[in-house]
Each structure stands twice: as C-alpha cells, then as structure tokens.
Amino acid sequence: MTQRYVIHLPIVANDLPAAQRLARVVGRWLLVLPQTEPGGTTVSTEDDQNLRHWVFCDALMPGGRRCLLRADHGGPCSRRLRR
C-alpha cells in the first residue's frame, strides 16, 4: 500500500464567503497539477479548524473526480464551471 500525504496550506480571509471564493479560485488554479483534488477543499475558522465548510460539491463524478461547482449549487453536477 502506498502512503499518501495531504498538504494543509493556510490562507486567511476575513469571512466565510470570502474564504470560500478564494478557496475556489485557488482550487481551480491548482488543477494544472495532477496531484491536486480541489473537490475536497474545505474552509474553517482559525479557532475551530474541526468545523469545516465545503467549498466544492462533494459529489463524485465518473472517473472518480469530484464536481467543481460550489457546495450549494443547484442543478446537475459538472466538471466545468457554469457561466
């Protein structure tokens, strides 16, 4: 069994919506790296990092990747952003 490690990269924002927006931008940008899985991105307050808020939808798509839309999106899941 191959061990895998997760990198935790603290980035600070002033409120939850701003943190979620910034996390979506960073997560999508990191798609250029094959090692990343932005669908698992969460944000939390600095003082309570055990209470996490999903940034992307948690639904698995065909091929094992996750939906790239926001966690509370309406309609079908997608690997592409909606305009």
Quick one: pLDDT at residue 81?
65
Task: Give mean pLDDT, residues 7-33.
Answer: 88
pLDDT tens for 27-82 read 888 888 888 877 788 899 888 888 989 888 878 888 877 787 888 898 998 877 66
Quick one: pLDDT at residue 83?
59
Domain ranges within the chain, ordered by starting residue: 14-83
| CA 34 to the chain's CA centroid | 15
Tokens of 65: 């990747």
Tokens of 42: 């969460």
pLDDT at 2 over 80: no
DSSP letter for each residue of 42-72: EEEETTEEEEEEESB--PBPTTSPBP-SBTT
Query: Smallest Cα–Cα separation from 38: which of 17, 18, 62, 20?
Result: 20
